[in-house]
Amino acid sequence: MDKLRYGSDDFGTAGTLTLGGERYSVQRISGIAPAAWPYSIKVLLENLLRHAHWGQVTSDQVESLLGWGRADSFARAVDVHPARAFLHDTNGVPALADLAALRAAVAERGGDPARVNPVIPVELTVDHSVVADIAGRPDAVERNVALEYERNAERFRFLKWGRDVLRDVAVVPPGTGIMHQVNLEYLARVVVTRHGWAFPDLCLGTDSHTTMIGGLSTLGWGIGGIEAEAAMLGQPLSMLIPPVVGVRLDGELPEGATATDLVLTVTELLREHGVVGKFVEFHGHGAARLSLADRATLANMAPEYGATCGYFPIDDETLRYLRFTGRAPKHVALVEAYAKEQGLWHRPDAPPRYTEALRLDLSTVVPSLAGPSRPQDRVPLTRVRDTLRERSGTAERESATRPVPAGDDSHSPDGGLLDAAVVIAAITSCTNTANPSVMVGAGLLARNAVERGLRTKPWVKTSLSLGSRVVMDYLDAAGLTRYLEKLGFHLTGYGCMTCIGASGPLADGVSEAVREQGLNVAAVLSGNRNFEGRIHPEARMNFLASPPLVVAYALIGTVDTDLTAEALGLDHNGHPVFLRDIWPTANEIREVVETALTPDMFVRAYADVFTGDARWAALDAPAGELFDWLDNSTYLLRPPFLDGVGDTPEPMGDIQGARVLASLGDSVTTDHLSPAGAIPVQSPAGRYLTAHGTPCARLNTYASRRGNHEVMMRGALANIRLRNRLVPGIEGGFTRDFTANGAVTTIHEAAAAYLAAGIPHILLAGKEYGTGSSRDWAAKGPALLGVRAVLAESFERIHRSNLVGMGILPLQFLPGDSVTALGLTGEEVYDILGLPDALEDDCDDNGAAPTVLVRADTRTFRAAVRLDTPRERTHYRHGGILPYVLREFTRGTHP
């Protein structure tokens, strides 16, 4: 905010806060916000008041938020301005590529490309490019990092260009840690000081798990890369005023239960309750007693329970963590003073007035897993075997999936791999590697197992992918690293790996056995996502579990077991060893954490956080205000989203004569819409890359190719587990081409045929369309395929916004209607009528969206237009956010 456009103090809230001889300008919310308001809504109010003072928000929006809690308030929109934008490399590369393309487009129109610059700080962490190619050996991390640079050097050089040329862009180099843990341990401010002002740190990021920072009392959530680009350029985020669900936590976790078990319980509870589009705020004495790491684990999983964010208000634990991780004492004092002055300090005995209130007694939490394909499908540990058989029908094959004692390798490929075998056991992701209690718990369990003579089954690929270098420091200090390594949990890298599908190849011989025998095998991981087709193409079952349970499943080698009753194996003397025999106590874990983890570890880890290693330093960054695109690159091509954009948008009309590209079911994830994992050789994207000279062994992942729209367009709806009702019985990115009499072909080829014939096409879907990662390519890919609209029963928040940002119309079936209820086959020709009039209408006072008439052959029905705010309708009329921003630059009206 180099140029602050001052407005007026219409609400009489301008003031100062003096601390230690320094004065800060503030917007005093304590005198205007009701004391009983949720803390998170007070943060939003401060944001609106400050930007109204600067002339960037209207007083009407402030008045709308001051009506929070009334039934009509949730149908009103406000413009939120983040304090900073937060990116990782696989979303950051396309975001910076779009800015580079915007610079080129502005220059081609005679403008100054240097005007295309972030107006807020941008922090980007390179953490999504490393793959667990090598695992279970001492040199795993070194070899994986070498491969990471070998594959991604071109992308990394581009990021260095963005860092050097674009204003206020900071890049955390590879090998430092996972973005959310770096944010938690170093980057987050809680209270920001800038230009003489003090205000809450509102962080919006291109990863859905940006919500993790809510554990550190910082309001933050995930947005699409498209929205992030707009925010970086000064555009506000338009959102409906959110309801707030208060979750009161009482009691304490019982012996044997972990933070992972707690979050899986909360995820199940909140998914069942319904929190999409809502804030969730944790409060009460149980919340106050949770460690900061436990809070971060709960906040991290907000996308899994469907909320916009999970927020813990500021309290003594917030301050303790800030001090412990090396934040300046002066800043910690400011956080405390600001929170108490502004009514943002947590008072457990005076809970806010929430839209909806839930309660959870922490003492009722039990050890659990979640799976086999959704985070909300919690299974108590005692019920895993029974649930598995109920869902998969393995009860009829019980003899084929017996537990295998230690030393008996009859489950191995040589002896015949069996159904339900665990082929991946991964301690991974920011969710749990941010939490010392579960990491130390895993190390202690590994120590106890090794000392009893247990070992990992040979068909299990084990890996340890960490979010922070501090984790290895305290595991080493506690003497636990060597025990994890004896069980194959060698460090594989610092980054998101198995959890995003960068799991690498399975153990020798396992893939062949799985394919040849058609086996249904499993991955067990301590991450936050287990969607089908995400973790590994050959693991049809994926279970989320705490790090200690990941180690336990690596020991027993199958999920078709009851870990509470059956032996993990035999000890040195041939005696059975049960999980209860080696599970560490809560006191033991606490004592190790308190002695092994020290504040100086954080100071050392982040002393040169932006420097990187010798490999990073050796990369030459391109120079120049305009990026020099290479036509033959398979990683970076100039994005086409601004090609042919005129000075004014085309007149808006109805969509007529559309065909269905795919008819999808419930819980279609962004992984289904744009996979992140390995690119199959025979897929449309694989064939494109090999045709352009890429060796089969160097195809890399979709995530790493997001700077190449030709690859990503071919990867749209290409998940190997996608099920399209137009082609029943077939999995993968296939459909019927109605320009060729309904012949079965790839979705990419059918879309190309429709585009060539001038035929619009749409997608049909069920409930919770677009759950999962805030993946802009899940909207960009369909947009390049020519998809005009998505008609679904309900949408996940981030993906619906991404669709609008790419000019795709989100339509929602009215209550009681669905593909099944209306008898739609997907073979019909669709007309969407009345769209221009619907774009002129706001939601009514009850929040009901305007509707259009949909005609599917002889059937007609109405559908809601999910353009929820005036700004979204503006972006849609322009064909998306990027064309809108380009026209703003052309007119000279962009900030």
pLDDT digits (tens, 9 = 90+) for 85-118: 999 998 899 999 999 999 999 999 999 999 999 9
Tokens for 425, please give them: 């056991």
Which CATH entry fits the domain spanning 84-364: 3.30.499.10, 3.50.50.60, 1.10.645.10, 1.20.1540.10? 3.30.499.10
Average pLDDT estimate for 591-609: 96
Q: How far is CA 96 from CA 122, 167, 629, 731, 793, in A?
A: 11, 12, 13, 34, 33
Instruction: Note the pLDDT of residue 726.
Output: 98
Q: How many residues does the chain have?
A: 895
Has residue 868 got a pLDDT over 50?
yes
How far is Cα 274 from Cα 696, in angstroms, rounded to an integer? 44
Q: DSSP state, 422?
A: E
Instruction: Note the pLDDT of residue 433.
Output: 84
Average pLDDT estimate for 739-746: 97
Which CATH entry fits the domain spanning 372-605: 3.30.499.10, 3.30.70.3400, 3.40.50.300, 3.40.605.10? 3.30.499.10
Whether 84-364 shares its CATH topology with 372-605 is answered: yes
Helix (H, G, I), strand (E, B) or coil at 864: strand
Q: How confident is the model at residue 226 (pLDDT cuts 50, 70, 90)?
A: confident
How far is Cα 191 from Cα 83, in angstroms, rounded to an integer? 10
Ordered by start, the domain boundaries in the chain are 84-364, 372-605, 655-675+715-877
Has residue 399 got a pLDDT over 50?
no
Average pLDDT estimate for 227-240: 91
Return the percentage of the chain with pLDDT > 70, whole number: 95
How far is Cα 222 from Cα 446, in angstroms, rounded to an integer? 35
How far is Cα 703 from Cα 128, in angstroms, rounded to an integer? 8
Average pLDDT estimate for 759-782: 93
Instruction: Note the pLDDT of residue 336.
Output: 98
Has residue 286 got a pLDDT over 80?
yes
**Widest Cα–Cα separation across the chain:** 81
Tokens for 572, please give them: 């040195």
C-beta of residue 495 within 8 angstroms of C-beta of residue 180: no
Strand order across the beta sheet in which 521-525 lies: 378-380, 368-370, 539-544, 521-525, 422-427, 461-466, 491-494
Look-up of token digits 């890298």: 493
The dihedral over CA atoms of 120, 126, 128, 131, expressed in degrees to the nearest 10, equals: 180
Other CB atoms within a 10 A radius of the CB of residue 853 amount to 15
Strand order across the beta sheet in which 279-283 lies: 309-311, 279-283, 244-250, 356-361
C-beta of residue 120 within 8 angstroms of C-beta of residue 2: no
The whole model's pTM is what? 0.89
Instruction: Note the pLDDT of residue 402.
Output: 35
Average pLDDT estimate for 865-892: 91
Could you tell me which residue, 218 or 534, shows the higher pLDDT? 218
Instruction: Note the pLDDT of residue 408.
Output: 44
C-beta of residue 313 within 8 angstroms of C-beta of residue 351: no
Q: Mean pLDDT lowest for which of 87-91, 228-232, 287-291, 413-417?
A: 413-417
Helix (H, G, I), strand (E, B) or coil at 436: helix
pLDDT digits (tens, 9 = 90+) for 330-368: 999 999 999 999 999 999 999 999 999 999 999 999 999
Pairing outcome for strands 491-494 and 521-525: unpaired
Half-sphere exposure for 281 (CA within 13 Å, toward CB): 30
C-beta of residue 381 within 8 angstroms of C-beta of residue 270: no
Q: How confident is the model at residue 10 (pLDDT cuts 50, 70, 90)?
A: confident
Q: Which fold has domain 655-675+715-877?
A: Aconitase; domain 4 (3.20.19)
Q: Mean pLDDT lowest for which of 28-37, 398-407, 614-623?
A: 398-407
How far is Cα 176 from Cα 637, in angstroms, rounded to an integer? 27
Instruction: Note the pLDDT of residue 6.
Output: 42
Instruction: Note the pLDDT of residue 893.
Output: 63
Q: How confident is the model at residue 224 (pLDDT cuts 50, 70, 90)?
A: confident
Has residue 11 got a pLDDT over 80?
yes
Q: How confident is the model at residue 285 (pLDDT cuts 50, 70, 90)?
A: very high
- Give 697-741 as a DSSP string: GG--BTGGGTT-HHHHHHTTT--TT-B-TTSTT-BSSEEEEGGGT
Instruction: Note the pLDDT of residue 846.
Output: 65
Has residue 178 got a pLDDT over 50?
yes
pLDDT digits (tens, 9 = 90+) for 814-844: 999 999 999 999 999 999 999 999 998 776 6
Summary mean pLDDT of the chain: 92
Instruction: Note the pLDDT of residue 847.
Output: 66
Has residue 594 got a pLDDT over 50?
yes
